[in-house]
Structure 1
């Protein structure tokens, strides 16, 4: 039988981690990357037999690669602590990798919940997804060096889409949604400031409008009522806020450089006078 590794990257998830790990008994091993955890996350992971990698990983891509380096399975199931699996999902994953043949990776559907409400439509624009490549052979998937939502590269043969979804507890309420938007745009702004790939406000405003319309109309966010509108709005705000916050970072860095004391060498005459 093909060996299956579960990979989780977490930060201070002592509340949600037990339920997530308990449902992963169908995996042959669990690898948990504990990023700057100062609660009981690592102890809980070890209680469930997980292999724990502890460290400081500000770059999301680096976190995932650190975890993959410790996986020994033929296949990897990638998930987060706020995601859960059912017995039907576990059975389908096992059946899928057992008959994969030439296939190297699969798309996994995701059911997203805000509180106790299932929200199926409108996700996208870096503010959520209803499907992701989460099941793949070891060595097939890699990520860019970015802090949030790093671009992923998948090599090999696409095997199709599973039918059973992951259950994703996205946010508790609208307040959590705003807090998440703030976290995401802060991290994205740092990536933009580091890369220098900052567009004009007009360009990002145009992108924002396109994202809103795509999520609300093309992806049928309108079918989710108030939450669908809000998800689409936040998807549209994401590039605009990220850009504005990146500009703020660059201005702050420029001020810091301007405030540095001069390190210019002393004039030659003063040096000579001191040596006499």
Structure 2
């Protein structure tokens, strides 16, 4: 006898993707079949990202690249369902998270406008379960019209007007395949941080440069038990401290750094200035 088809939840999955063929099947496979709509905004793809997205029933739209925050707001604006699940291409909805969302829709959705989930990252061949990377609660499920993507151009986050339910189920994150992938993001994050701080009128201070990196290491490795994750925990705490140092160094550069004068202009060595 035919079994009754489980109705899909009134959710639009909103995603941005560029050359994510390696990750996309895992990510979309974790939501296809139980959400009503999948929207994927793509740009400048040279691999099979758009084709793979369509294979999972996604509506694919292409827009020129601006920044992560603005691209995600484009995807959010294209959603048509009452609720939106923001999902990155390197993330996977766990079985427990799906069950938690179904339970949320059975009653809690009447009292809340969004839900946040614990994000667990796979790094250096293990799940990271301590330190600054965990539990890393992320707001991802929102009532459409109640939220938007904010933050700076490199480090985006959902901002919600309403009540958020914190759910312990885990969103699985496959962010950094290698150490190089992790370190490569430091300069861009530092530049965005410096621009944001200057935009708020917050200038460079030596105490930030000297004390904040040390605090970030101690907080992640000692106080948040990062040492329990072995070498990956030590690496994460160390690189987080380094990234913090680079951010404030970049702020110094923005505030005080000057380009050297061109050859032949004022300030050049006399022999060069005379030609």
Q: TM-score, normalised by structure 1?
A: 0.79
Q: Partner residue of 2:233?
A: 228
Alpha-carbon shift at residue 200 of structure 1 (Å): 2.8
Q: Partner residue of 2:10?
A: 3
Structure 1 stretches (4+) deviating beyond 4 angstroms? 189-198, 246-252
Task: Write out per-residue CA displacement over residues 208-264 of structure 1, whole angstroms, 9 at most, x where no aligned residue.
Answer: 222222211221112112211211122222232123235546778x649x76xxxxx
Gaps of 5+ in 2: 1-6, 263-275
Q: Partner residue of 1:178?
A: 183
Relative distance call for 1:107 and 1:70 in structure 2 (3 A) is same
**SS of the residue aligned with 1:28?**
strand
Distance 2:95 2:115 in 1: 18
Q: Say whether the 8 Å CA contact 1:122–1:221 is kept in structure 2.
A: yes
Alpha-carbon shift at residue 150 of structure 1 (Å): 3.0
Does residue 218 (structure 1) correspond to residue 223 (structure 2)? The answer is yes
Alpha-carbon shift at residue 197 of structure 1 (Å): 4.2
CA RMSD across the alignment: 2.8
Alignment length (residue pairs): 253
Q: Say whether the 8 Å CA contact 1:147–1:188 is kept in structure 2.
A: no
Q: Partner residue of 2:272?
A: none
Task: Write out per-residue CA displacement over residues 160-201 of structure 1, whole angstroms, 9 at most, x where no aligned residue.
Answer: 32x321111132243333234345335445555676644234
Q: Partner residue of 1:22?
A: 29
Distance 1:48 1:106 in 2: 25
Distance 2:10 2:38 in 1: 11
Alpha-carbon shift at residue 3 of structure 1 (Å): 0.8
**SS of the residue aligned with 2:156?**
coil
Q: Partner residue of 2:128?
A: 119
Q: Say whether the 8 Å CA contact 1:59–1:145 is kept in structure 2.
A: no
Does residue 242 (structure 1) correspond to residue 228 (structure 2)? The answer is no
Alpha-carbon shift at residue 38 of structure 1 (Å): 3.1
Relative distance call for 1:58 and 1:129 in structure 2 (3 A) is farther
Does residue 135 (structure 1) correspond to residue 135 (structure 2)? The answer is no
Does residue 166 (structure 1) correspond to residue 146 (structure 2)? The answer is no
| Matched ranges for 1:23-42 at <5 A | 23-25=30-32, 26-42=34-50
Q: TM-score, normalised by structure 2?
A: 0.79
Distance 1:7 1:23 in 2: 14
**SS of the residue aligned with 1:32?**
strand
